[in-house]
Chain A
Amino acid sequence: MLKTLMKQIKEFKAASIATPFFMLLEVLMETVVPFLMASIIDDGVNVPGGDIRHICIVGAWMIAAAAVGLFAGLMGGKYGAYASAGFAKNLRQAMYYNIQTFSFANIDKYSTAGLVTRMTTDVTNVQNSYMMILRMGMRAPASMICAMVAAFLINGRIASIYLIAVVLLGCVLFFIIRKANKYFNIVFEKYDDLNASVQENVSAIRVVKAYVREEYETNKFANASAKVYNMFVKAESIIACNMPVMMFTVYTCILLISWVGAHMIVSDSITTGNLMSLLAYCMNILMSLMMLSMVFVMISMSMASGRRIAEVINETATIHNDDDPVMEVKDGSVVFDHVYFKYKENAEGYVLKDINIDIKSGETIGIIGGTGSAKTSLVNLISRLYDVTDGSVRVGGIDVRKYDMEALRNKVAVVLQKNTLFSGTIYENLRWGNKEATDEMCRRACKLACADEFIERMPDGYNTYIEQGGSNVSGGQKQRLCIARALLKEPKILILDDSTSAVDTATDARIRKAFATEIPDTTKIIIAQRISSVEHADRIIVMNEGQINGIGTHEELLEGNDIYREVYESQTSGGGDFDEPAVKEVKDNE
């Protein structure tokens, strides 16, 4: 994991190395300044009559040291900020770029909210601790080592007290942090659960209010919140030991050294000045250790974040381009040859079982079947959104796995069931299909998809701004825009996955008619719930539990297919939709 993350430092390596270097310089200045301070007192102030000249000279040195220290501090701060901000940027970029290579199977694994958190909160955590490591990670050990070395130079026996104290304290701190960490892991999980339940309440507030469950929810929340409180108190009480333990060690050292030191001075092993310095170093060493323990706490807290980031960066796409890809799709024919498919390698049963279909270029195919009958799974294989588990799917006579993915998907346009429009004008959204499309082409596509009628009645027409997720157009309008967007690709195969469900029957019929007359050479594969959407297709496939239950024309199936007949009858005998009208009124507030 660390390796994965470190790789992303890239161009910020220089800054990352410079930062500790400057911090080191700052530490050196910090070590020099007390010497000079002592000199001001010992040789300037504490001499009979005082020595103003000495004070001035040493003062000048001290100001010079302060200036160097300031410079080093500024540079350290600057490069630390620069390196960590850059590192964070690279991490986000690495994740985002890798996500762009994800196949549908990869995408299924992560939730949107999860990915957003990883790219924001988690990266911020890592960024902060990276800065901490760069600035303090060097500074603390450096000042500890400086002080330790100085202490050993003065007197090995006393200095060894420090060594023992440092080791002991290090062990205790390690133990405390590890124990607390265990609780923190649990507590953060509980905390996430708590926040999830808030989220749930916010989005379901109408249900809560409709059932007058405000009190009930509040009690439920109070319980969960009390649990989080208890866990946090448990975890943090352990951390609360840090400071006293620290103080205990420092104080013990000071008193021990005072006692031992006094004896040594009496027996003439060290001087009084030495003892004062030793006591000063004692503080330095233990303060650095405290700082280090803080760094470790930060690191261990950002470990989880780092793991989550690395997970995304290391996720390898399950679908790759062929080494020598075919760049052109010859025609719109589709062949399913003994196709078996399941979403997960270790899943028990197959989602699709032994599918054999031969679709000719330019044919119109309807697909019908109940929920879970694998209609969507079937068509997703054509544009290679997933790879078959066994058998093969051929487009234009060539296995889809042989194509360059972009070339394939540009010729096989899918209008997804759960579709998305992006924030931007209608033109911008349409041009997802073809960047170079002229306004004229966009309008033609919209006309084909029967989207022109409502677009033209919008105040800004094709320049109307679509809100995120297309929240300011109705379901039917959204579906028609998505169809128009796909048409702009001028695909050889057009797949509509339940893409007109919110469009009324009359408009649905007009769209189908436009398809038949305007793009006759394009292979059209239409998944629908409504019989009326598919009854005019050249052939209709009836799917049931991952298998083809029947193929044929409307009449043939009515005759010989039980499922089809059942669906047909249920839809014609008053069970149908009283649909939304063809024309969505421009909303009164727009």
Chain B
Amino acid sequence: MSNMREKKAQAAPGRSGGKKGPAEPGKLLKRLMGMIMKYYGVAVVIVAICIIINVLANVQGTMFMQRLIDDYITPLLKSETKDYMPLLKAIGRVAGFYGIGIVASYTYNRIMVNVTQGMLKHFRDAMFTKMERLPIKYFDTHAHGDIMSMYTNDTDTLRQMISQSMPQLFNSAITIVSTTVCMVMLNVPLTVLTFVMVGVMLGLTRKIGGLSAKHFIAQQKDIGSLNGYIEEMMQGQRVVKVFCHEEESKKAFDELNEQLCESSYKANNYSNILGPINAQIGNISYVLCAIVGGVLAIGNVGGFSLGGLASFLTFNKNFNMPINQISMQINAIVMALAGAERIFNLLDEDPEVDEGYVELVNARKENGEIVPSEKRTGLWAWAHKHTNGDPTTYVELKGDVVFDDVDFGYNDDKIVLHNVSLYAEPGQKIAFVGSTGAGKTTITNLINRFYDIQDGKIRYDGINVNKIKKADLRRSLGIVLQDTHLFSMSVRENIRYGRLDATDEDVVAAAKLANADGFIRRLPQGYDTVLTGDGANLSQGQRQLLAIARAAIADPPALILDEATSSIDTRTERLVQDGMDKLMAGRTTFVIAHRLSTVKNSDCIMVLEQGRIIERGTHEELLEKKGRYYQLYTGNAVLA
């Protein structure tokens, strides 16, 4: 346990360091786009077409307004007949285009809802599926808050990007392209001038955007530290009250709060001023073009007319708008890419490797031979498929576990278990005792391969555990952890978690075996009571009883029990104890023991210290030895 903690601490600076801008934005964007195209290629194409239609409909509207007076109203004024038909026809035509534009607009907005939410669903599902397949080590080395943040904050920034930034960017790009084409056709020098001003705009955007991004990152960091502080203080709020420490706690809070206010102000300030700056540069660009264009037109350089200038100036104005819009989206994109990077990192994590091929199957005995069975028989066998084509051999599952000179470390360079050798015969109860950090939990975590060993061998019924499929290995091992975790579903479903095809009767039977039936029946809705918040409405003892029932229904041939140290009252404790005893009966059991009775009744006791087994034997044998066990038992431990 302590080792994990250390690793978490090591990971911490990396985490805060990770809140930088994305390393390779281009690559990330490409990957993100690639994924979107893969799932919603057709939709994206339709959206693109609709956006183009929409832009064109808008452009033809603008053109109509420019022509309205010259082509329709002026002739009307001049004509005697006052024939409104041409105007009506024109309006009808424009209305038609507008109608198409509106339909296109609705279509792409509506499709984008599906694309956005669909992509988010894909991301969420992919993240979760991946997360479930990651090795325990990942969870040791990543703060749970950081993992959660990918599902909340990072997906939120992605939503913003996919639903708003991306269509906006495309829209702007189309507008820029069409406007550029028009401008170049009208006058090249003025176009160059416009581009120079746009260059200035982009330069400033880059500069200010960079500053803004820098402060946004600082803001995220400050939120993080404030968040951490608040969390710690809220958790310890009762202690704060008891020690009248309110003023001190306020003081430290104020400092962090002030810091966040500062960085938040700066970040928002820079992003706020980007818009006005670009808008005004746009105005200046307009004026410059007017003056230069005026000179050109009056000097009639290259056949440039005043009418051409008027049109050019309109385009100049139209050109600056989308640039401005793009610059507004930059922050959202930077933040979304940073989020995407974290999500991709999760998706790219290596899943738990499983090279096992030995499977667990139901079996029955036929003339003393073990043969596979379709039905659940209560008898299990390891199906050993041979690669060389020999027929599959079956070995009965008994629960025979052997550790042969096992070395293990959470990191390769730090071995925490040294030369551990032990054997458990089927049905035996093996107790591990020793101080915190001696390696008791670690050993049990190796049997079900939560972690893989560095050296040595672990054999289960004579088979190297590495050859057994992880899922089957774990299915053969029941486990009751020290910290009970329950899920937000009914009590019945929580127990059934041990074996999904269990009937309601099985559930009740398991609850009875675990002595949980009594309290469950007293719950408001009995077995159908829905638990919330990790079973927050149950007492510690009741939660343990449920965990035992959950293990009992799985009916595994071997068990790993981590007895809880937390104090529960004597009566409940007796129920828990009794439940555990019933569960252990007839199974190979590894128990991390805290209770005297458990230790005493064990077939073999392993005394661990600093990752080594220093004594082994039965209760009586070890007492006779007058060694470490004796010290522990009598409570006369001497200072080391």
Contacts and interface: CB of A to CB of B under 8 A. Distances in A.
A76 B148 contact: no
A561 to B, nearest CB: 14
Interface string B298-339: 100000001101100100010000000000000000000000
B147 interface: yes
A444 B313 CA distance: 84
A93 B569 CA distance: 41
Interface in B557-601: 565-574, 577, 593-600
A489 B569 CA distance: 30
Contacts of A251: 61, 95, 98, 101-102
Interface stretch (B32-40, B281-289, B369-377): B281-289
A346 interface: no
B94 to A, nearest CB: 7
B272 A212 contact: no
B54 to A, nearest CB: 8
B276 A254 contact: no
Contact of B128 (A81, A225, A383): A225
Given A241-B106, A410-B244, A84 B273 contact: no
Nearest to A78: B269
Interface residues of B, number: 175
B382 to A, nearest CB: 16
Contacts of B474: 209-212
A529 B569 contact: yes
A163 B435 CA distance: 80
Contact of A67 (B128, B269, B280, B485): B280
Contacts of B88: 259
Nearest to B244: A406
A211 B472 CA distance: 10
Interface in B66-108: 68-69, 72-74, 76-77, 82, 84, 87-88, 91, 94-95, 98, 101-103, 105-106
B568 A371 contact: yes
Interface stretch (B179-187, B223-231, B456-464): B223-231
A121 to B, nearest CB: 8
A78 B265 CA distance: 8
A236 interface: yes
Nearest to A237: B113
Contacts of A124: 223
Given A62-B283, A433-B243, A582-B635, A571 B500 contact: no
A471 B191 CA distance: 65
A200 B488 contact: yes
B298 to A, nearest CB: 4
A225 B125 contact: yes
B265 A82 contact: yes
A232 B277 contact: no
B246 interface: yes
A264 to B, nearest CB: 10
A87 to B, nearest CB: 9
Contact of A498 (B73, B567, B631): B567
A46 B310 contact: yes
Interface stretch (A165-173, A191-199, A388-396): A191-199
A89 B398 CA distance: 64
A207 interface: yes
Given A100-B246, A206-B136, A467 B594 contact: no
Interface string A129-144: 0010001000000000
Contact of B287 (A59, A215, A276, A420): A59
Interface stretch (A47-55, A331-339, A348-356, A511-519): A47-55
Nearest to B298: A50
A214 B131 CA distance: 9
Given A45-B290, A200-B534, A574-B597, A371 B148 contact: no
A451 interface: no
A96 B290 contact: no
Nearest to B469: A212
Contacts of B269: 77-78, 81-82
A590 B609 CA distance: 15
B506 to A, nearest CB: 15
A186 interface: no
Given A93-B257, A582-B635, A584-B435, A201 B132 contact: yes
29 contacts: A55-B291, A56-B291, A89-B257, A97-B250, A107-B241, A120-B223, A194-B151, A204-B486, A205-B136, A213-B497, A218-B128, A221-B128, A222-B128, A247-B98, A259-B91, A265-B77, A272-B73, A433-B243, A575-B573, A575-B595, A576-B597, A577-B595, A578-B599, A581-B631, A585-B435, A585-B609, A585-B640, A588-B610, A589-B414
Given A76-B272, A420-B238, A432-B245, 15 more contacts: A37-B313, A76-B276, A85-B264, A89-B261, A104-B241, A112-B231, A203-B144, A222-B125, A262-B84, A414-B242, A475-B565, A575-B574, A582-B637, A585-B610, A588-B611
Q: Which 8 A-B pairs have the closest CB atoms?
A: A73-B276, A77-B272, A204-B485, A420-B236, A81-B268, A89-B261, A85-B265, A240-B109
